[in-house]
Amino acid sequence: MRRSRPLVRLLRLCLLVGLVAGLVAAGAFALTSVAIAQKGKGGGKTIPSGPGWIAFADEGIISVMNPDGTGRFAVAAPNPDPVFGPVNRKPVWSPPFSDGTLHLLFFDIECEGESCFGVLKVVQVFPKFGVPAAIAGLKGGFISYAWSPVVAPLGGGFDAARLAFQDGSVIRIEDLIYDHVTGTFMVNSLLEPVIIDGRPANSHYAQPSFSPDGKWLALWRIPISGLVRTDQIWLASADGLVQRPLLADDGVFYGWPAWSPDGSQLAFISNRHDRKTNEVYVADLDQDLKVTAITCVTNSPGKFEYDPTWSPDGLQIGYYRATTGTVGKVLPTGEQFTLGFGLFPDWSPVDLPPLP
């Protein structure tokens, strides 16, 4: 959808005000980073590594790094916002496709003359670095987004994939086709998108996270209005027919869900133990996707952590701290390490050779 520059400025201002209001309600602030920390340093301790790479945003650049903070490498530079200039935008890993490639998805803005419009772009990251290209035929708001882990080879050098994204107040799921030869993605126009709408319950959904089998999404459910914000985590079936609460308590913040690689756990952000901070929690799930136990896995009073992401072996969880603009991770032992400046981390779904 193309918009005039004055309208873009108004929309960007409304988006910024809404984002700041939501983060202030959750207790977050200081969202920008200004430098890159020393590589491989974590409070004087050697940082243990792990499988795969971590993608992140810093100073408007999409980059990847090893799980110990070393090997930082820039892979894409999204266009500056026409109002705010360089803006950090979340990178999201694709599942592995049948040709062995991995890609990163991110939001970008394209302008033609006085008209600007949002696009989702994909850049190949493995086994080689490619050039970002927009997903053909995809339209929407693109506030937050997630790949389904399930890829279906179609034969003839094509794969089918699914993408969920926040489009205004709803979650839209689109079916995509990936072309091995050109390395590009397009919407499958033969299939209708699935719409998951929380507005009948006076809420909207954000931050979709697919279950490993692609059948369910965990969603951050945000009230549209009300004197007291009660952010919750809900589950929705990928066909859009079922919606139900998973984590919901009056006056408690729940958000930023992230499904574990084996589907048995869900990481999320909450202030359930301390209303003055947000920390990373993990909920254990049974076969009926009911919560059986909840554990706070970080101990970070006043640090305000967000955006948890699992290592491909399910043993480590990455996150970022809004108060310092840094990416960190926590081990099964409870040890926490700072990996350097950055926001919106996303861990690759499979192991990868270390970056030099």
The bridge status of strand 336-341 relative to strand 61-65 is unpaired
Please give the average per-residue pLDDT across 332-336, as a whole number.
Answer: 94
* pLDDT tier at 1, thresholds 50, 70, 90: very low
Q: Rounded to whole angstroms, what are the CA distances from 303 to 223, 255, 277, 327?
A: 24, 16, 7, 12
Q: Tell me what pLDDT residue 26 has.
A: 34
Work out the number of other CB atoms within 10 angstroms of the CB of residue 38: 9
Distance between CA atoms of residues 115 and 111, nearest Å = 6
- Write out pLDDT tens, residues 217-240: 999 999 887 655 689 999 999 999
Mapping DSSP onto H, E and C, the string for 128-160 reads CCCCCEECECCCCCCCCEEECCCCEEEECCEEE
* Residue 288 near residue 304 (C-beta atoms within 8 A): no
Distance between CA atoms of residues 69 and 328, nearest Å = 9
- Write out pLDDT tens, residues 137-170: 998 778 899 999 999 999 999 999 999 999 988 9
Domain ranges of the chain: 3-347
- Please state the pTM of the whole predicted model: 0.86
Distance between CA atoms of residues 308 and 260, nearest Å = 10
- Write out pLDDT tens, residues 124-133: 999 999 999 9
Phi and psi, residue 50, nearest 5°:
175, 180
One-letter amino acid for residue 176 of the chain: L
Distance between CA atoms of residues 243 and 263, nearest Å = 18
Q: What strands lie across the sheet with 203-210, from one edge to the other?
A: 203-210, 216-223, 232-237, 243-247
Phi and psi, residue 13, nearest 5°:
-65, -45
* pLDDT tier at 4, thresholds 50, 70, 90: very low
- Write out pLDDT tens, residues 10-20: 333 333 333 33
Q: Count of residues for the chain?
A: 356
Residue/partner pairs of 263-269 with CB below 8 Å, 24 or more apart: 263/211, 263/212, 263/213, 265/314, 266/209, 266/218, 266/233, 267/297, 267/308, 267/309, 267/310, 267/317, 268/218, 268/233, 268/308, 269/26, 269/305, 269/306, 269/307, 269/308, 269/319
The first and second tokens of residue 20, run together, are: 């700041």
CATH of domain 3-347: 2.120.10.30
One-letter amino acid for residue 34 of the chain: V
Signed CA dihedral, 67, 64, 301, 205: sign only: negative
* pLDDT tier at 326, thresholds 50, 70, 90: very high
SS3 72: coil
